[in-house]
A and B are shown apart, each in its own frame.
Chain A
């Protein structure tokens, strides 16, 4: 089966700093891939190249059959199919929750307001905050804001969802509600690429765990195998620091 994401020999530099080194990665439709690694390993940069928030200098990225290059039409087409959830939520503070979610479907997919609002309410139900639809982001807790952010990304009906440390900025008691929303999404068959430190989440729903360090993929495999029986020294060292 043709992978929904294909990265071939991807290389990226920030000036002189080589942040992604010869990355080769295929993600199948419906797969849940969790990326772990120390700070500065390039894991956030990696997923940001998939919706071209970061450009690459060398290599090839193909998303859902679309070649990701300079062509604006390609970039637009890819971004419609790839949703992203950020560590700092990035909700639009001057709009209500409902407006946050319906904005892109209305102006990018050109849906009429009724359709956009109906889909938005369904998504709010799905992440369990339908009663907050008319509130402003500032009036919500972090966990609620992040769930709105998930609903906002899902409103565009993407084929792939990227998560960049979605729970790292949350108070511990709110992490659970966001992870629950993400687990439900995984079980529904969404292709997901998640950068996180939440190993419990990875164990429960990930099909594959990738360990990155210093811009390279060091090891990958099924969660049980990587967590319980890491092959590489660097993986072992990292897991030892994290998993006690």
Chain B
């Protein structure tokens, strides 16, 4: 009965979100049309310009959402692994965090798009008889950006998760272990539920940073917001109006996201109780 209720609420939330999404981007496109008309761009081309920038914004948001969800999972796993007693878990996690935080995101994006195909090719060829398309078709700019962004935010999330877990007082571990609980049980029932309240704000901050970082994917020809803007400038030679529009859209997107994160933080504070 509870499961059914949850599914109905989740379903309703998804429908609301879908409607909001469609309405939001239709609104963005309408505002852009007004803006480009008001700034005297070629009238016949205005609808196209508005539409393309809107498409770019949509790709930016979609990429941000799937990369942050994947990065969240990666961060949780790596963060917990960093604290494991078992070096087989700990060392790969430490290595991952060290390398990704120590190299520029731009390099990681370029690597994912240009270098990764060569590295995966030998393995890929083995599976080819089973009907896999050639790797160049699979590792499109979108998916290369997805891989690089997920891996990148995952490393930063791992540190947030690690710090959150370590912030939980040692006494909680001692009490739980003295009751006979195994480390995994302690994590699951005692530590992680408390750590979640600590890590949600910084994790959500990382999502907002990711939204802006996604602009770097423009260098591997992904037609996200920045790249669409650059194309428009190469046609119209009006960088001021276009870049202002692009920046404004980012600002709108990050502000909307910030409303959501503020709500999330208030919810956590409202539900939470601390010792």
| A-to-B contact residues, CB < 8 Å | 51, 53, 76, 79-80, 82-84, 86, 88-94, 103-104, 107-109, 136-138, 149, 152-153, 156
* Residue contact A108 to B171, C-beta cutoff 8 Å: no
* Residue contact A90 to B181, C-beta cutoff 8 Å: no
**Segment at the interface with A among B52-60, B250-258, B267-275:** B267-275
Contacts between the two chains (Cβ within 8 Å), count: 69
Select A104's contact among B172, B174, B181, beta carbons within 8 Å.
Answer: B181
Q: Mark B65-100, 1 if CB is under 8 A from A, else 0.
A: 000000000000000000000000000000000000
Q: B194 at interface (Cβ–Cβ under 8 A)?
A: yes
Q: How far is the CA of A160 from the CA of B172 in the complex (A)?
A: 21
Interface size class, chain B: 20 to 34
With both chains docked as a complex, state the minimum distance between the C-beta of B198 and any C-beta of chain A, in angstroms: 12
Contacts A53-B174, A90-B172, A103-B189 given; does A108 touch B275 at CB 8 Å: no
Q: How far is the CA of A82 from the CA of B177 in the complex (A)?
A: 11
Q: B205 at interface (Cβ–Cβ under 8 A)?
A: no
Q: B40 at interface (Cβ–Cβ under 8 A)?
A: no
Q: B178 at interface (Cβ–Cβ under 8 A)?
A: yes
Select B185's contact among A92, A107, A152, beta carbons within 8 Å.
Answer: A107
Q: How far is the CA of A167 from the CA of B161 in the complex (A)?
A: 34
Q: How far is the CA of A83 from the CA of B174 in the complex (A)?
A: 11
Contacts A92-B172, A137-B275 given; does A53 touch B177 at CB 8 Å: yes
* Residue contact A107 to B189, C-beta cutoff 8 Å: yes
Residue of A89, A94, A156 with highest tally of chain B CB at under 10 A: A94
* Residue contact B178 to A53, C-beta cutoff 8 Å: yes
B274: chain A residues within 8 A (beta carbon): 93, 138
Q: How far is the CA of A86 from the CA of B169 in the complex (A)?
A: 13
With both chains docked as a complex, state the minimum distance between the C-beta of A148 and any C-beta of chain B, in angstroms: 11
* Residue contact A92 to B180, C-beta cutoff 8 Å: no
Which chain B residue shows the least CB distance to A108?
B180
Q: List 24 A-B contacts (CB under 8 A).
A: A51-B178, A76-B180, A76-B182, A79-B179, A86-B174, A88-B171, A89-B275, A90-B169, A90-B171, A90-B172, A92-B175, A92-B189, A92-B194, A93-B194, A94-B193, A94-B272, A104-B179, A104-B180, A108-B179, A108-B180, A108-B181, A136-B273, A137-B273, A138-B273
With both chains docked as a complex, state the minimum distance between the C-beta of B162 and any C-beta of chain A, in angstroms: 20
Q: How far is the CA of A190 from the CA of B221 in the complex (A)?
A: 73
Residue of A79, A90, A108 with highest tally of chain B CB at under 10 A: A90
* Residue contact B273 to A94, C-beta cutoff 8 Å: yes
B272: chain A residues within 8 A (beta carbon): 94
Q: How far is the CA of A167 from the CA of B22 in the complex (A)?
A: 61
A94: chain B residues within 8 A (beta carbon): 193-194, 272-273
Q: Mark B161-196, 1 if CB is under 8 A from A, else 0.
A: 000000001011011111111100100011001100
A136: chain B residues within 8 A (beta carbon): 273
A103: chain B residues within 8 A (beta carbon): 179, 189
